[in-house]
Every structure is written in structure tokens, then in C-alpha cells.
Amino acid sequence: MHLKVGDQAPTFIGKDQNGNTIQLSEFAGKKLVLYFYPKDNTPGCTAQACNLKDNYYALQQAGYEILGVSSDNEQSHQEFIDQYKLPFRLIADQDHTIHKQYGTWVQKSMFGKKYWGTARKTFLIDEHGKIEQIIEKVKTGEHTNQFFPKR
């Protein structure tokens, strides 16, 4: 699916790191940073998560909640959260349903070998459920600056 700014964000239902159901409708009336990343505990993904954590208070002050999505399982997410003290929830999208809704489950290539994986991409969703920004070229260590300048 090819989403663009102004589109209604696809509704989703998934499980967070504790096995609790989480869905887009929970964020009605709030802004949401919905970020897709390849794998827990890898250098780029850790830098991205920690950058969001370091700016969590400022993002909340601006009305944003944060939600990460990867195809890792719930236990992996819980360990990632515990290790880096992440203050936000992560969705375990092992069947790639949410990835496919947002167009982030893509064919990749490494050393001539093709495989399927997560495209690192962030969607900023407004309080009405519309996509207000899409960041396709994520700078992991300074990700928040791409959509929310540091103060």
C-alpha cells in the first residue's frame, strides 16, 4: 500500500510487549509517532529508539504518543524495553499485517540475495487519524529532529 500525507492512517490491531491488545483507535484525539524498524537490539534500531526516548518528554508536551512496530516477538520487545528503559510500547507484528497496511514490508536485497524485511519508516498521525508526515529516510541517531526540532 502506498500511503501519502493527508491519507487516513490505516486502522490496526496488534499485541504489545506484554501481550496486551493495542489499536490505532486508542490514540483518537492524540498525535502519534508510529515508527517501523527492522529489529530489536541492533545498532540502528537502538539509536532510533533511544533518540525517541531522550525526546519523549518534549514529544509528550507537544501532544505526541510513540509506538514502535517490528516483526520481533513480545519477549524480544520486553527485553529491548527493559534494557534501554524505553517509556513507550512496541507492537509485535510477527505476521506483518500492520507492516503490509503501512507499506513497510518490502523486498530488499543484500549481496545479490533478495529477502523480505521492514522498511524503516515513520508516520506522524494527527489527532484525527490523518497522516501529517512520513519520514522515509530516517536518521536513527537524530530521528526526532527530523520532525520535531530540539529545543
- Residues serving a catalytic function are 45
| Nearest CA among 148, 19, 31, 137 for reference residue 77 | 19
Q: Determine the longest span between alpha carbons in the chain, in angstroms.
A: 45
DSSP 3-state of 26: helix
Phi/psi for 46 (5° steps) reads -70, -45
Q: Which amino acid, residue 23?
A: Q
**DSSP states of 99-137:** HHHHT-EEEEEETTEEEEEE--EEEEE-TTSBEEEEESS
d(CA 80, CA 82): 6
